[in-house]
Copies of this chain bind each other. A is one copy, B any other.
Amino acid sequence: MLAFEEREYRDRIANARKRMAADGIDVMLCSNPANMCYLTGYDGWSFYVHQLVILTANDNEDPVWVGRGMDANAAKVTTFLPDENVISYSDDYVHSKVKHPLEFVGGLLKERGLDKAKIGAEMDTFYFPARSLLSLQRTLPNAEIIDASTLVPWVKVVKSPAEIEYMERAARICERAMRTAVDNIHTGNRQCDAAAEIFRTQIAGTEEFGGDYTAIVPMLPSGEGTNTPHLTWNDKHFNNGEATIIELAGCYRRYHCPMARTVQIGKAPKKLDDTAKIVVEGLNNAMEAAKPGTTAEEVEQAWRQTIERHGIKKESRIGYSTGLNYPPDWGEGSVSVRPGDKTELQENMCLHIIPGIWMDDWGMEISECIQITPSGGRAFADFERNLIVK
C-alpha cells in the first residue's frame, strides 16, 4: 500500500535530518498528518486523536509511529516501518482530562535517553495543541522544546519526479471536477446538488486511478456570498444573473491540484467582466515570472504591477506551496507568494497561485496550480482560464 518506494521515504528522512542538524535538533515530533505521511507513508483519518512520528537525529534509527491502539494496524499496513516501531497508547488517553498522550510520548523519549534533548515540535500546526506542549514540558522538564513547524514543509517544498506524477494525476481529477462544477451551476439547480456531483467526480477519479478526499471541501460562494472566499454550499438554487466562485482540488493519494474559477449565469456585469480580464492578465504574468531563482515576492510583484496598472489594489497573499496534505488545509505553510517572502523558487516547487478579488458585495477568483520550470510556472491542469459565462 506504500504510495512511494521505500527509498524515496528514506531520502526524505535524510533531508529532514540535514535540517535537524542545521538547527541542532535531536529529535523531531511530527504531528502534522501531512508530515507523518511524507516521512513514513502513514495514511488514515485518525488525526482527530493525538498521534505523531518521532524522528531522531540518529541515521541508524527508523522513525517511530505513536498513536492510538486501534490505529496501530493502520500504521503497520500503510508505512514501511518495522512493527516494533509502531507504538500505541491505551484508549484511556483519548479525550481524557487527567492523562495526555504527550505524557506517554515524553515517557518514550525518556526511555530513549532523550529527556534532555532539543526537541522540535510542530507548534503552529493544528495537530500540536497548547496542551500537548504543556504535557510534554511537564513530563520532560529538562528538555528544550522549540517550534519546528516548518522544518518538514521546507523539505517537501521541492517535489520528486514521483510526486510530480501524483500532482499530474490530481490535475486530471481537478479538470474533471471543475468541468462537473461548471456544468452543474445553472439556474434552478440547488447548490448542494452541484456540490454532490463535484464530490462524486473528485472521489471516483478516472478509469485508471481513483480520487482521494481533498484537504478542503469545494467552496462555492454564490451571489452576494462571492464577497468572501470560504463559504461552502447550501440548498438554495443558483440564480440567473449571479456569479459563483468555485475553489476545489483534485487529489490523488493525498497530493492536491487546486483550482479556482468563477462562473456567471447570464450576462456578466461589466465590472466582473473587466476585472476577470485583469485577473487573468495578472495571473499569466505571475506564472511567467515563476522561474527558478525568482523570489516569491517577485512573483507577487508581477501580479500586483499588472493589476495596479488597471487601478486595482489587493492586500492578501496570492499563493502558497501545495502538494501532500490533510484537512484543514492543502497549503503547506512554507512559501507564501507575497511581499516580504524572499524564498528563491526552485524547479519542481509547486504553488497554488490564487489571486482573488473580494469587494463589498461581489468578488471573483481565477487560479492555477503550477510547477516551477525553467520556462516559468506550468499549470498542471488544462482548463479555460477566464470568467466562464453560461
Asked if residues A192 and B205 are in contact (CB atoms below 8 Å), the reply is yes
User: Nearest Cβ in chain B — how far from A214, in angstroms?
Assistant: 10
User: Nearest Cβ in chain B — how far from A47, in angstroms?
Assistant: 6
Interface residues on A, range: 35 or more
Given contacts A48-B216, A131-B123, A193-B204, contact A356 B317 (CB under 8 A): no
C-alpha gap A1/B95 in the complex (Å): 33
A54 contacts the other chain (Cβ, under 8 Å)? Answer: no
- Stretch in A265-273, A332-340, A367-375 with 4+ CB within 8 Å of B: A332-340
A164 contacts the other chain (Cβ, under 8 Å)? Answer: no
Asked if residues B204 and A196 are in contact (CB atoms below 8 Å), the reply is yes
Given contacts A45-B216, A210-B235, A213-B232, contact A128 B127 (CB under 8 A): no
C-alpha gap A200/B132 in the complex (Å): 37
C-alpha gap A235/B251 in the complex (Å): 13
CB-nearest residue of chain B to A98: B340
Given contacts A69-B315, A129-B124, A216-B45, contact A210 B193 (CB under 8 A): yes
C-alpha gap A320/B225 in the complex (Å): 35
User: Nearest Cβ in chain B — how far from A338, in angstroms?
Assistant: 7
A134 contacts the other chain (Cβ, under 8 Å)? Answer: yes
Asked if residues A48 and B329 are in contact (CB atoms below 8 Å), the reply is yes
Asked if residues B190 and A338 are in contact (CB atoms below 8 Å), the reply is no
C-alpha gap A201/B125 in the complex (Å): 32
CB-nearest residue of chain B to A211: B192
C-alpha gap A71/B121 in the complex (Å): 29
A104 contacts the other chain (Cβ, under 8 Å)? Answer: no
- Stretch in A8-16, A56-64, A86-94, A379-387 with 4+ CB within 8 Å of B: A86-94
The 10 closest A-B pairs by CB, nearest first: A192-B210, A210-B235, A48-B329, A73-B228, A130-B133, A196-B204, A123-B130, A91-B316, A199-B199, A196-B203
Instruction: List residues of A whose CB falls within 8 A of some B CB.
Output: 1, 43-48, 69-74, 77-78, 90-92, 94-95, 97, 100, 121, 123-134, 147, 149-150, 190-193, 195-197, 199-205, 209-213, 216-217, 219, 224-225, 227-235, 315-317, 320, 327-329, 331, 333, 336, 338, 340, 356, 358, 360
Starting from the known contacts A48-B216, A129-B130, A130-B130, 9 additional A-B residue pairs (CB-CB under 8 Å) come to A48-B126, A70-B356, A71-B229, A74-B225, A74-B230, A121-B130, A190-B210, A192-B204, A210-B235
